Structures are given as C-alpha cells and as structure tokens.
Amino acid sequence: MSGPRNADQAGRLAVQVLKRSLPGHSDTVHRECQRAAGIAAVIWRRWHVGPWQWKCKHVRWFLEHGMSQYQGWTRYRYWLTVEQLLQAIERLEDWRPRLNGPWRSPQERR
C-alpha cells in the first residue's frame, strides 16, 4: 500500500480510519476527525507517511514536538485522539508503553 502524496491526503486517510471505529454524537465525531486530520497532516509534513505507515517514533515525535504549543486539556484531547487512531489501526496495545508522557493526563505538571 502506498502512502499519501500530501498532508491533505494524509488527513483524509486518518479521518477514514477513525470514522470506522468512532461512536458518538456527530459533533463529537466531527471534532475528533478534525484533530485526527491535523495529527496526520503534521506527521506527514515531517515524515511523509500516512497512518498505515506510521511507526511508534512518528507518533512519539508528534506527541513531543508536534503538540509543543498546546498545554493541559488540549494536549490531553489530542492524546485521546491519538489513542483512537492507534486503536483503529491496531497498534495501541503494542505502542502504549512507549508513549508515556505529560499528555496522558489533563493536569498540568509543574
């Protein structure tokens, strides 16, 4: 399977992957999909890979550097979206131990 050709394609692919497994109200699903598209686009711009080609290092890079401007609840919401994406591509359980960080809690750590 070839990867996406640009950041927009990567974002659309992430939304397709996520929508298959995401229950809930349409507004909630829409916000989750917007975050998923943003995550995929940021990773694509740095690594030129889509969700099906992601390795743990790509996701870890996003969590450490791609979200560096976010804090608290926003980081946590992105983490929850990352979890949903990884669950959808069946990599969450293998990668979760290597994805520890402050983003896994909504509380600011000082």
Range of the domain at 41: 7-104
Residues near 74 by beta carbon (within 8 Å), at least 6 away in sequence = none
Structural domain tally of the chain?
1
Domain for residue 109, yes or no?
A: no
To the nearest 10°, the Cα dihedral for 5, 2, 87, 76? -20
Domain for residue 1, yes or no?
A: no
Model confidence over 19-72: pLDDT tens digits?
A: 877 777 778 888 999 999 999 999 999 999 999 999 999 999 999 999 999 989
Residue 110 has pLDDT above 70, yes or no: no
At 47 the pLDDT is 96
- The pTM of the full predicted model, rounded to 2 decimals, is 0.85
